[in-house]
Amino acid sequence: MSNLVCCQIIPPDVLYQIIKEGTSEQKDKFIRTLELSEILRTQRSIIAGMRGVGNILKIAGHLQKRRIVYDANHADDIFSLPGEPKRYEEDLKETGDNDVDSCFNNTGLVYDFYKEVFMRNSIDDDGMEMNSSVHFGVDFDNAVWTGSQMVYGDGSDLLFKKGSVASNLTVTAHELTHGVTDHEANLVYRGQPGALNEHMSDVFAAMCDQWVSKHTVDESSWLIGKDMLIEGQALRSLKDPGTAYPTDKQIDHIRDYHTGMLIHYSSGIPNRAFYLTCKEIGINSYSWQKVGKIWYATLIDKLREYSKFQDAADSTFDVAGSLYGKDSKEQAAVYKGWEGVGITPRESSDMTANLVGGKRRRRHQIL
């Protein structure tokens, strides 16, 4: 069963803070942003409730990527979605609408990243059509995975710069990875499992961005949502959690974690562990080549709905040993990465358990 949540790019307390402290104009706009996010959350819940039926009636997916980008024309209810179709897979010519064209191109890059690096065919690994709606609402400061499609606002120039939401590759990769997680570990969107859900979206978004730019571990900014905010460099930093914007409360060590912490903040712990692991492999290495494969195998075959930080540490450590050898450089790197955030990986009695098969047998291998 699904989590009955709507995964979104922005920590909700950022909106609450603006509503509490902002001007009258800001309060009105961000109250509406929260309302629209809740509307999309309702749609996510409806889709989740129908998932069992959908699996029974499922139509075979596509063998190649299939994208459609719609214009929501600033409508702000679930019945308006997806909107007016503006660009299909066969359309080589750009429309002239930057949000439509950027969204179309970035969605294709995310598909290509998963296909070429992990041999995954779309969000569900079965050729799912990748649908997106841009221009949702008026000055909507969010991007959301609804369970069936992506929805992007325009930004308000109060929190996000106008035109920055649908055009940012890491935002698209982050949200689409929520769809991947839905179809794999299905981590519940609360507590430590919810933080791991956000973490997976952040690390695969960072890897996708690095893969497209061919940046090494040292060359990458490790930022999610770079240059989107009116104030601040990004939404999150995997390298230095808590430094992305002036009021960023993300943490980078388990000693600072407490029950009930917002998942966008506690996800900084595994985010930092991933960065440190990549750094241990080598600053001139590429994150997606080894560490990314360890994290991907962990997501698809090890983690479950209620997995916690310790489970992720143990699983990535085991997977590293299974893929690259016990006591290998790669396994040592994973150990040091988690140790750097205060979590000590524990070796399971059977390192190969669930790696090939597990939750469901993979149709391919990732090496």
pLDDT above 80 (res 258) = yes
Radius of gyration of the chain (CA): 19
Q: Tokens 């009021």 correspond to what residue?
A: 247
pLDDT above 70 (res 261) = yes
Mean pLDDT (the chain) is 86
Residues involved in catalysis: 175, 264
pLDDT at residue 148, rounded to an integer: 87
Q: Please give the single-letter amino acid code of residue 291.
A: V
pLDDT above 80 (res 343) = yes
pTM of the prediction?
Answer: 0.86
pLDDT at residue 7, rounded to an integer: 57
Name the residue with higher pLDDT: 281 or 58.
Answer: 281
Complete domains list, the chain, with CATH: 7-183 (3.10.170.10), 191-339 (1.10.390.10)
Of 320, 348, 351, the closest CA to residue 333 belongs to 320
Least confident of 51-60, 164-173, 216-225: 51-60
pLDDT in tens, 113-159: 999 999 999 999 999 999 999 999 988 888 989 888 999 999 988 88
CA distance 51 to 57: 10
pLDDT above 70 coverage of the chain, percent: 78
According to the 3-state scheme, what is the secondary structure of the chain?
CCCCCCEECCCHHHHHHHHHHCCHHHHHHHHHHHHHHHHHHHHHHHHHHHHHHHHHCCCCCCCCCCEEEEECCCCCCHHHCCCEEEEECCCCCCCCCHHHHHHHHHHHHHHHHHHHHHCCCCCCCCCCCEEEEECCCCCCCCEEECCCCEEECCCCCCCECCCCCCCCHHHHHHHHHHHHHHHCCCCCCCHHHHHHHHHHHHHHHHHHHHHHHCCCCCCCCCEECCCCECCCCCCEECCCCCCCCCCCCCCCCHHHCCCCCCHHHHCHHHHHHHHHHHHHHCCCCCCCCCHHHHHHHHHHHCCCCCCCHHHHHHHHHHHHHHHHCCCCHHHHHHHHHHHCCCCCCCCCCCCCCCCCCCCCCCCCCCC
pLDDT at residue 141, rounded to an integer: 87
Residues in the chain: 367
The residue-averaged pLDDT of 91-108 equals: 97
pLDDT above 70 (res 327) = yes
Q: Please give the single-letter amino acid code of residue 64.
A: Q
